[in-house]
Amino acid sequence: MSAPLLTSLAEPGGESGGDRPDALTVGGRACSREELLGAAGAVAARIAGAPVVAVRASPTAETVTAVVGALLAGVPVVPVPPDSGPAERDHILRDSKAALLLTGSPTGSPTEEDTGPAAPVETVPVDLAERAAWSGPEPDPESTAFVLYTSGTTGAPKGALISRGAVAADLDALAGAWAWTAEDTLVHGLPLFHVHGLVLGVLGALRVGSRLVHTGRPTPAAYAAAGGSLYFGVPTVWHRVVQDPDAARALSGARLLVSGSAPLPAPVFRDLEQLTGHRPVERYGMTETLITISTRADGERRPGYVGTPLSGIRTRVAAEEGAEIGELQLTGPTLFDGYLNRPEATAGSYTEDGWFRTGDIAAIEPDGFHRIVGRASTDLIKSGGYRIGAGEVENALLDHPAVREAAVVGAPHEDLGQQIVAYVVADGVSEAELIDFVAGQLSVHKRPRKVRFLEALPRNAMGKPQKKLLPPA
């Protein structure tokens, strides 16, 4: 049987080597494990028995407390991006049927935003000063820990069901690969509504027992000032770190720099090595599978490669006869339990013999090292490490009264990896208005960075838009 999900919280002072007043610092607010456990116990007592709970996932200690409280009580957590507009937030709340929204709002009074007619929800404030001992049983490892909303190529985001057992298995495998222990101080400033920042970046520290410093935003200056041993970043963060050589050099004393969520460009890998003395560890994952492949603390780290499968994971590449690259497929204990309310999409994401289809194109070298070549569909965009469906942004644009047609692509971008570019047929509306419109409906990171106005979208004889024929961004 695997250990309780929140091992080091359940045993403060145990293997983790004792508590300290700054065991966790999130957005400038420090607390001990005991304080977190007490405040989270109060959350657990208030929400126990709820079928599911939404958490407004701003980068705060309240968010961590809310998530831990829900996990103590065995209530599945639906993180809601704090800047999501009405279209995205209503979809998440309706689809997940979350009737409670935990927030750090100090007054606790429901805001108009949260009680709008589309998705009524009761706001439950999280108070860090509250204390309650929680003594409920450890929930079943097969029960759902998280419903994580993630974009597909078309339509609205789908809720990936992630079990407690999958999270525990993934964190244990990562701790092994990265030699991650209670001696570490983990530093990052990633959003708390995705796997990277929340599952690895918060629950990982709580399970392993390491200190956590969440910097609020993942800026080079904040990383440099934090004095950690283990750093997490998406490639955009590492690109910004190497643009700031003083900040980069301040990371020389760290033990391990880890990159993931998108391909780390080889020049950034090399600049990091030159400035910090560290060859970064690169790892690969997906919301639906958690992290599955990684280079190791005690192994080779090669630019352009994500390493070997983590303990318990099996991989294969479904290549056409004679080809070396093909779709990467996976099995293992870290895989999700399907998409909420979407049996067809769930079934479609597996092969007939039960392997998960990642949609990523990869190659496996004879020595077992994996290289991610790209995605099978260009309609799934990765920008700043965020996964964004072209269809979701197109639908948001089409909701604007001036827009008649829209096609969205990810264009190569040095800092973001890809940037969202929208091609529209529209009258009487400016680029800035359309960018703001999308930022207001969806999460801010889903906004196009550029809008190109066309007379008509290129289409084939069947009338289907031909994105390959769009002019350069």
Stretch in the footprint of ligand MCA (CB under 6 A) among 89-97, 282-290, 333-341, 365-373: 282-290
**Between residues 103 and 383, which has the closer beta carbon with respect to ligand AMP?**
383
**414 binds ligand MCA per the rule CB under 6 A:** no
**287 binds ligand MCA per the rule CB under 6 A:** yes
Which listed residue (5, 68, 87, 195) binds ligand AMP by CB under 6 A? 195
Stretch in the footprint of ligand MCA (CB under 6 A) among 102-110, 306-314, 331-339, 380-388: 380-388
**285 binds ligand AMP per the rule CB under 6 A:** yes
Query: Which x/- pattern over 26-65 shows residues binding ligand MCA (rule: CB under 6 A)?
Result: ----------------------------------------
CB burial string 163-199: b at 16+ within 10 A, e below: bbbbbbbbbbbbbebbebbeebbbbbbbbbbbbbbbb
Residue whose C-alpha is closest to residue 170's, from 37, 2, 370, 55:
2
**Between residues 191 and 280, which has the closer beta carbon with respect to ligand MCA?**
191
Helix (H, G, I), strand (E, B) or coil at 370: strand
Interacting partner of 182 out of ligand AMP, ligand MCA, none (Cβ under 5 to 8 A depending on kind): none
Which listed residue (387, 395, 406, 416) binds ligand AMP by CB under 6 A? 387
To ligand MCA, the closest distance from the beta carbon of 191 in angstroms equals: 5
**Between residues 134 and 231, which has the closer beta carbon with respect to ligand AMP?**
231
CA angle 235, 238, 244 (to 5 degrees): 150
CB 192 within 8 A of CB 64: yes
* DSSP, residue by residue, 283-352: EEEETTTEEEEE--TTS---TT--BEEPTT-EEEEEEPTT-S-EEEEEESTT----BTT-HHHHHHTB-T
Residue whose C-alpha is closest to residue 216's, from 237, 189, 192:
189
CB 260 within 8 A of CB 291: yes
CB 257 within 8 A of CB 281: yes
Q: What pairs with residue 97 in β-bridges?
A: none
Residue 367, classified by CB atoms within 10 Å of its CB into exposed (0-12), middle (13-18) or buried (19+), is exposed
To ligand MCA, the closest distance from the beta carbon of 1 in angstroms equals: 26
**57 binds ligand AMP per the rule CB under 6 A:** no
Q: How far apart are CA 464 and CA 371, in angstroms?
A: 33
Interacting partner of 447 out of ligand AMP, ligand MCA, none (Cβ under 5 to 8 A depending on kind): ligand MCA
Instruction: Kindly compute the dihedral angle of the four CA atoms of residues 165, 169, 172, 173, in this order, to the nearest 10 degrees.
Output: -170
In sign, the C-alpha dihedral spanning 380, 381, 387, 391 is: negative
**330 binds ligand MCA per the rule CB under 6 A:** no
Query: Which x/- pattern over 348-377 shows residues binding ligand MCA (rule: CB under 6 A)?
Result: ------------------------------
Backbone angles phi, psi at 238, to 5 degrees: -70, -35
Q: Which of residues 181-220 bind ligand MCA (CB under 6 A)?
A: 190-191, 194-197, 218
To ligand MCA, the closest distance from the beta carbon of 447 in angstroms equals: 5
- Classify residue 338 as left (phi > 0), alpha (psi -120 to 50) or beta: left
To ligand MCA, the closest distance from the beta carbon of 177 in angstroms equals: 14
Which residues contact ligand AMP by CB under 6 A? Answer: 150, 195, 260-263, 282, 284-287, 306, 358, 360, 372, 375, 382, 387
Which residues contact ligand MCA by CB under 6 A? Answer: 83, 190-191, 194-197, 218, 234, 236-237, 260-261, 285-287, 384-386, 435-436, 439, 444-445, 447
